Every structure is written in C-alpha cells, then in structure tokens.
Amino acid sequence: MKERIKRIICIIVHFTLLISVPYKTLAQNYQTVRVLLTNINAEQRLHIGVYGSYSADGKMSFQRASEIVVSVENGAMMLYHEGMAYHAGKSLSFIRHQSAGVENGLRLQHGLQLYEGDLHLTLQDNSIRPVLHIAVEDYLKGVVPYEMNESFPFEALKAQAIAARTYALRNLDASMAYDVVDNTNDQVYRGHLSQNVNAARAIQDTQGICGVFGGSFAHCYYTASNGGQTQSPKNVWGGGDVSYLPIQDDPYDLANPESIVREAIIEKKNSEHFVGNQQLTEMLKLQLQPLLERKGYNPDIHSFYIDEVEAVNAVTPRFGGNSKVMTEMEFVLYVGAQQRSRGQADQEISLFATPEPTAALIAHMQEQWLPAKRLHETFSVRIPVFPDAESALQLSININQNEILQVENLQDSFKITMRRYGHGVGMSQRGAQQMAQAHGWTYQQILSFYYPGMELKQYDTVSALATEIPAHYLSTPGPIPTATPRPTLMPVSMEVKDGQYLVTVTGVATNSTLNLRNQPGMAGDVVMQLFYGQELLVMGKTEDGWLQVKTDAAEGYVMERFVHVKE
C-alpha cells in the first residue's frame, strides 16, 4: 500500500512538471501530418502497447512495454493501466518523447506495426476517434511499403516516396481536425514494420524532396496500373485540366507482365450457338429481336440463333479525344432465323373472323414460319461495356468502371482484354516498376514521364520530439519488456484429402504478414493478414501461382512463393 501511495504521489508531481513542457503545436509546417486511423476498429475500445517513451495528457508517464486500455464508458473515455483508472473525459493525448530505445512508438490493437507519433483521441458520437500526429518522414514508412511492394526496384520506391510525400504535404490543413485518412481515400497507412528496409532507405535517400508546379505542391496522384494509358483527373473527378497530368500512352505499364489483366475468348463459330457464354448470348439476342422483327423474321427469342461472330469492336470513347476508355462493344453477327411462309404472307384478313381465335387457328398461324436458317446479311448490335459486357465476360478489375478494353482478332476467335487497376491518374506503380527494372530509369526520369513539367524541390521535413522523460519517473515496477508481441496462429484441424497438402507461411519476415485474398490475383480484396508460421491447407492451385487455402477460421488465396510445403 505504501508503494502504491508513493507511486501516485510521484505521478502527481510528474503532472505538474510535464504541464510546463513545450509540446509541438498545430501550426502549419512541413514536419507533421495528422492521420485519421480508420482501420484499427477502435470505436469503443482501444488497446495500446507502449514501445517507447510516452506520457498521457501531460499527467502520467509509462514504462516501455506498458499495456494500456482506453474504453468508452458512460459518455467518456476511461484509461486503465496496471490496476489504475483515469477518467479522461472527451479527449486524451499520448505524447511521444525523446528516447534512447531502439523503438519509439505505439502498437495498437495487438498489431505488429509501430505507430511512431503522438496519438490524440477524442470522443465523437460516443465513439473514439484516433488521430495520429506523426513526423512526415515517419508517416511515409507506413505508407510506401503498403502502396508499393517492398520488393520493387529501388528507384521505383524512391519515386513512390516522393509522390506520397508530396501528396501528404499538399493535404496539410490546420483548419481541419486531420489532414489525411489511413485508407485509399487518401493513402494507405499501416504503421512501420522494421523489415521494410528498402522502403525506409528510399524515404531516407529522398528526404524532404517533393514535386512542385507553379510554386505549389503538385497533385502527385498515383495508381496501381493504368492499363497502358494515363488518365486525366478531369475525367475522373471533374474540374479543369491539369497540364502535368495529361492523357498519354504508357508502354511501360503495358509491357509489365505483372500488370493486372482480365481476359476472355469469344469463338467466332460455336456449335452451341453461344457468344462467349450464355449471359452474353442472351444480351445480344435481346438486341437482335427488334432488328429481326423489322425485317419480317420471327422475333421470338427461342426461334433464332447466332450462327457466327463476324467482328467484335470496342467503340464509343467515354471521354472523346484520344482516351482509350470505350463504353460499348459492337458485335457483327450472322444469324439463323425463321422467315414467314408464302401462304401466311398472302393470307387475307377476313372481315368475319371470330373475336377470339381458336386453338386450331393459333396452331395453324404458328406453323406459318419456315424452319430457321442462316441469313445472308449480317446484323450489327451494341451492348454497354459497363456494366453489361464487363459482368457477362467477368472482366471487371475495379469499381471505377474506367478500365481499358481491347479486342484482338485471332484466327478462330476474338481475344478480349481488360486493363487498368485504379483511377489511372498520374504515376503507374507497375509502369514505374518496369521503367526501373527493365530500363534502369532513375526516380527523376520516372517522375518526369508521369508528371511532365513538374519540378522537384527539397523541404525541411524533420521534426523535434518532446523533451525526454526523466529516467527516475520510469523506475517504478512494470511489466517485463518484450521486443515484439507474438500473434496467436489459427488452427488447421481438417483432414488432408487426396490432392490437398499443408504449407507454412515462411516467405515473409518473422514479424510481418501475408495477405489472404478473396480471389486469386492482386485485385482480390484482403480477407485478413496471415502471420509468419501460419499453417494452411492447400485445396487447389491456379496457373498463375496462386493457392486456394483455408484454416479452421478463414479461407481464401495466397501467392505460392510466400509459403513452404510442410514436410
């Protein structure tokens, strides 16, 4: 009890001392960015692991490896730590101080990533709103390896670092509660992992370098893959043209074998009279009905068939000019249809016909169509690319409905390809990868291609931390420090059947994760993150190196090169 009273007195004394410490202000500068954290599910309860030197509200300090819980109770935030409770009210701030430790940040919700900044919590609509105030260069360590893969060429990573830094600084706005969010509405930010050494070095080597145009930070938009042509921001978001973000062909993205592509084959002549598949065939037949009826053929959808595809074209540019985004697919078709018999065509209408035709008369009228046969003329019909053809041929890559569709005329079929993953504006990450990897381009050359006319300028983006907390305030007993929290792996208890086998996640660093996606390919949504050492049951394999896997708790797809077959 005496030790507890002594500790409380120590903390109260520390309250007074910390109040006089000059913390960083929210004045407009180029050193700090405020990030709204939306991906940590902290609405009602937030677990905070302290892996550095932190104080809360200038009133209490925490030893390294302290575990803190903040929860919403009765319209206020409560902080719990080592048996003590602190009524924080509507706001609570964790301030990062200078520290001689290897790590200096927070781990949130038992995650592995380190959040290296001041964490400000406010109560909004009875939910915790977490905003991280973080040095720009530290912020980039949680952006670059999540926006561009750590394995990309170094010059491409440097180009990504500059684009991401410019985007962040352009969005600084002291009049708002935060500058950016941590998801694709701005830039993905997930905290820092120490194994992302290439990204960290790219950030360090380009420290403070940003893109500028006309004396202001440039719009350094970037996209995963532009499909072979950059897009204009005017076409995506409206507004005026931006001179350094033109529509231009990108042969580097197009040549990159890792750029996401969806393909479909349409046979020119199919024995079952299908065009691609049943769904697309039905769409085309609906368009053919009024054309056949106007020419006197039987328009009943079951009476005619598509015999051959003469041509397929991508037509009607969505934005005009040289944009390759087409909105319609044109099909030129040979059709087999029923013509009227001569007897029915010459039949006179009787003035004394009964009001209601008899069943025998209906049957007789139906018999006046000749058997269906291939017609000599062709019929041209069009269907919308978005969403009709895209859905029917399963070509969708993203929700933007701005993919580039192209048609290749082969000997016996037409090959339909769909490209572009993302909005297509600015730098293509797959294009930058190809430029650096296959052509040896520098980051300056990459940025000059995607942002013609933009200049590079270096700013002071280094910020100072709050004064170091005196060691004797941290000398009270605390939990034993652990370098990194270890996750609990999911069990795999299913029986291994014929054709199945077990693998282990080993192709990532021991404190990193592997994305489990809902479909094979980088366009698939991330179901969850798998930790190093996670065992998986393999149920199938695709031709392009993806494995269908499951555990007792989850199922999805992972890349084969990140796992090892279990002996």
Identify the three-state secondary structure at position 252.
Answer: helix
Q: Distance between CA 432 and CA 230 in Å, rounded?
A: 13
- Residue 505 and residue 342: Cα distance in Å, rounded? 73
Q: What is the rounded distance in angstroms from the CA atom of residue 511 to the CA atom of residue 446?
A: 32
Q: How far apart are CA 386 and CA 396, in angstroms?
A: 9
Distance from C-alpha of 110 to C-alpha of 40, rounded to nearest angstrom = 10
Residue range of the domain that includes 201: 140-258+427-458
Cα 180 to Cα 124, 136, 189, 203: the distances in Å are 18, 12, 10, 19
Q: For residue 241, tell me if it sits in a domain.
A: yes
Matching residue, tokens 């409770």: 85
Listed in sequence order, the residues at least 6 apart from 167 whose beta carbon sits closer than 8 Å to its beta carbon are 186, 187, 220, 221
- Residues 49, 145, single domain; the answer is no
Match 């499951």 to its residue by tokens: 550
244 in Cβ contact with 232 (< 8 Å): no
306 occurs within a structural domain: yes
- Give the residue from 368, 392, 419 where a domain finishes: 419
Last residue of a domain, one of 121, 137, 153: 137
3-state secondary structure of 561: helix
The structure tokens 């001392």 sit at: 17
Phi, psi of 14 (to 5 degrees): -65, -30
Separation between Cα atoms, residue 488 and residue 474, nearest integer Å: 30
What CATH number does residue 538 fall under? 2.30.30.40
Contact 410, 204 (CB under 8 A): no
Task: Write out the two tokens for 89.
Answer: 């009210």
Phi-psi map region of 239: left, alpha, beta (phi>0 left; psi -120 to 50 alpha):
left
pLDDT digits (tens, 9 = 90+) for 533-549: 899 999 999 888 899 99
User: Residue 495 falls within a domain, yes or no?
Assistant: no
Residues 95 and 58 in one domain: yes
Which residues are within 8 A (CB) of 305 and not within 5 positions of it... i.e. 6 or more apart? 273, 335, 336, 372
Residue type, 407: V
Element (H, E) at 443: helix 443-450
Question: Phi first, then psi: what are they for 233, rounded to 5°?
Answer: -60, -30
pLDDT at residue 72 in the model = 96
pLDDT at site 562:
86
Q: Quick one: pLDDT at residue 399?
A: 84
Q: Are residues 254 and 265 in the same domain?
A: no
Report DSSP state, residue 372: P
- Tell me how far apart the alpha carbons of residues 188 and 429 are, in angstroms, rounded to a whole number: 14
Is residue 67 one of the residues assigned to a domain?
A: yes
Say whether both 89 and 11 belong to one domain. yes
Q: Which of 137, 158, 179 is the last residue in one of the domains? A: 137
Task: Using DSSP, state whether 10 is helix, strand or coil.
Answer: helix
Candidates 162, 130, 173; CA nearest to 33 is 173
Question: What's the structural domain count of the chain?
Answer: 4
Positive or negative, the CA dihedral 174, 178, 183, 188 is positive
Residues 306 and 324 in one domain: yes
CB 506 within 8 A of CB 563: yes
Q: How many CB atoms lie within 10 A of CB 189?
A: 30
- Domain check: are 230 and 150 in the same one? yes
The whole-angstrom separation of Cα 185 and Cα 169 is: 16
One domain for residues 411 and 438: no
Same domain, 405 and 436: no
pLDDT per residue rounded down to tens, the chain (567 residues): 444 433 433 443 333 333 333 323 333 478 899 999 999 999 999 999 999 999 998 888 888 889 999 999 999 999 999 888 999 999 999 999 988 778 999 999 999 999 999 999 999 999 999 999 999 999 999 999 999 999 999 999 999 999 999 999 999 999 999 999 999 999 999 999 999 999 999 999 999 999 999 999 999 999 999 999 999 999 999 999 999 999 999 999 999 999 999 999 999 999 999 999 999 999 999 999 999 999 999 999 999 999 999 999 999 999 988 899 999 999 999 999 999 986 554 444 444 444 565 665 555 555 589 999 999 999 999 999 999 999 999 999 988 899 999 999 999 999 999 999 999 999 999 999 999 999 999 999 999 999 999 999 999 888 777 777 766 555 454 444 444 455 668 888 888 898 899 999 887 766 567 888 888 887 777 788 888 889 999 999 988 889 999 998 889 999 888 888 887
Q: Do the beta carbons of residue 546 and residue 489 sit within 8 Å? A: no
Looking at the fold, whether 65 and 103 belong to one and the same domain comes out as: yes
Amino acid at 243: S
Claim to verify: residue 234 and residue 190 sit in the same structural domain: yes
Which residue type sits at 252?
Answer: Y
Give all strands (DSSP E) within 356-430, no chain letters: 373-384, 404-409, 413-419, 427-428
Distance CA 382, CA 401 (A): 18
Query: Would you give the DSSP letter of residue 471?
Result: G
Looking at residue 473, its pLDDT comes to 59
Structure tokens at 302: 């079951």
Is residue 530 a part of any domain in this protein?
yes
- Burial zone of 499 (CB within 10 Å; 0-12 exposed, 13-18 middle, 19+ buried): exposed
Q: What is the CA radius of gyration of the chain?
A: 32
Please report the pLDDT score of residue 355 as a whole number: 54
The CA-atom distances, in angstroms, between 449 and each of 247, 250, 554 are 12, 9, 42
Tell whether 188 is covered by a domain: yes
Q: Is 228 in the same domain as 294?
A: no
Buried b (16+ CB within 10 A) or exposed e, 531-550: bbebbbbbeeeeeeebbbbb
Q: Are residues 412 and 265 in the same domain?
A: yes
Cα–Cα distance between 237 and 420 in angstroms, integer? 17
Position 481 in a domain? no
Residue 282 within any structural domain of the chain = yes
Asked if 187 and 139 count as a contact pair (C-beta separation under 8 A), the reply is no
- Name the strand (E) or helix (H) holding 420: none
Q: Compute CA distances 201 → 135, 157, 161, 433, 494, whole Å.
A: 16, 9, 10, 17, 43
What pLDDT is attached to residue 14? 39
> In whole angstroms, how far apart are CA 280 and each of 277, 407, 421, 441?
6, 16, 24, 43
